[in-house]
Amino acid sequence: MKKRYTLEKKQWDEPVEHAMPVGARVPASFKIGEIVVAPATVLAPMAGVTDTVFRRFIKNASMYSVNSAGDNGGRSVEELVTNQQSGCGLIMTEFTSADGLSRMRESKRKRYLTYYDDEHPISAQLFGSNPATLADSARICQDAGFDIVDLNLGCPAKRVVACNGGSGLLRDLPLIGEIFKAVRGAITIPFTVKFRMGWNDHHIVCVELAKMAEDCGLNAVALHARTREDGYTGQARWEWIAAVKDAVSIPVIGNGDVRTPEDAAAMVEKTGCDAVMIGRVAPANPWIFRQIAQYTATGRYDTPTDADRYRMIRDYFQKMVEEIELENATEAARAEAITAAGQVAREKSVRDCVGKMKQFAAWFTHGVQGGGALRKQIFEAKSGARVLEAVDGFFTSRAETHVASEDEVMAAELVTAGEYCD
């Protein structure tokens, strides 16, 4: 069973608060090969998170425009940052096992590589350690219509590292070189790599690895500025992103400790990176890309209201339910009758849906006053309907409380006005 991504295990250690840099902004666009990414922001691949429902949700959550009375003289943020779809320029799949992908039957493979037209540009991320298998899986992704193939050299999970995948490969640069050449020779679409600084502080290889990637014909590199040994602890060391940027001429994407638009702008200012990758903050703040686009265009950005959160969480749940219904309908169409195995699969889909609803609602209510009580109700819920009831009740109650508070303020103001009139 796939281990779910948990914010609780990947919180920031004493995060640095960056002021808004004067004049520094995330670039309006950059290119990976011939693929234009606009704006220069990337949704990081996250196991158990960045499935097609979440990716499309981010695309929709990122939409932002300024009305005619806004700060831009009627011009939209999309126009100012050459962004035609949303505040997120590039989205990536969950990291996918090359070994598993190459062995899957085609029907299962299609379901696993599902994406929709509105997700372009989209990158498929692979992990593994066998050059031939990775090359074969990269061809499968290219044939499936993905715009970019990315190699994962960053995952610190023990089960991935034990198979010499993810950041485990950072201990074997010659093998990485073989993989680079095999995949590059197998596909014509852009090929990129995401990696960490090295295995530990005594084994920093990021600059050497980036140079090797460029020499092997890769089109961009992304650096999470921590070592495998760091995991998600301590501060990301952005100076290594700057070192990689100085060492290569292909685009460099910075990753690590970007929680706000100020952080994104500060990373660009301090490192000179071509783009910024956002990971663990995105599930808790799906508006982060929209906020960066707004800040890029106007120098300011809006924060979500309770009503925004309510609409977004309902929209996400609805998309999730629709996706599961579509999968079940497809499975039913393949079979002449609902078999016992098919029924078990459907029940598992429902359980997974409820689990993800709980997971997402927990993320989404962090920072909301009284959110702890809602999270408790959600975790105790046994069905999707119960989760939705808890969410509806929570936000309805907050809205009623807000209206009551406004009425009290207005009444107090009238009384005060009356006192002064006397």
From first to last of the 422 residues of the chain, give the pLDDT tens digit: 344 444 445 566 666 777 767 777 899 899 999 999 999 999 999 988 888 888 988 887 655 443 333 444 445 555 554 444 457 999 999 988 999 888 887 767 776 788 989 899 999 999 999 999 999 999 999 999 999 999 999 988 888 888 878 889 999 999 999 999 999 999 999 999 999 999 999 999 999 999 999 999 999 999 999 999 998 888 999 999 999 999 999 999 999 999 999 999 999 999 999 999 999 899 888 889 988 988 888 888 888 877 777 777 777 777 777 776 666 665 555 554 556 555 555 565 566 677 777 777 777 776 677 778 888 888 888 777 777 788 888 888 877 666 544 444 444 444 444 443 44
335 CA to centre of own chain: 35
For domain 7-298, give the fold: TIM Barrel (3.20.20)
- Angle among Cα 112, 114, 118 to the nearest 5 degrees reads 155
pLDDT score for 136: 96
Q: Looking at the annotation, which residues are catalytic?
A: 155
Place of tokens 């808004």: 20
Burial of 175 (0-12, 13-18, 19+ CB in 10 A): middle
pLDDT score for 409: 43
pLDDT score for 348: 59
| Structure token digits, residue 180 | 């680079």
Of 255, 272, 241, 240, nearest to 90 by C-alpha is 255
For residues 301-327, one letter each, b for 16 or more C-beta atoms within 10 angstroms of the residue's C-beta and e for the rest, the string is beebeeeebbebbeebbebbbebbeee
What CA–CA distances, in Å, run from 296 to 15, 69, 73? 22, 18, 15
pLDDT score for 339: 60
CB atoms closer than 10 angstroms to residue 34: 9
Yes or no: say if 276 and 245 are a contact pair by the CB < 8 Å rule. no
Q: Residue 111 and residue 211: Cα distance in Å, rounded?
A: 36
Of 44, 284, 55, nearest to 154 by C-alpha is 44
| Structure token digits, residue 171 | 């201990």
Yes or no: say if 290 and 274 are a contact pair by the CB < 8 Å rule. no
Helix (H) or strand (E) holding 204: none
In the chain, where are the structural domains located?
Answer: 7-298, 306-414
pLDDT score for 137: 96
Query: Which residues, in sequence order, are CB contacts of 183 under 8 Å at separation 6+?
Result: 131, 134, 135, 138, 149, 151, 191
pLDDT score for 70: 43
| Structure token digits, residue 94 | 């969950």
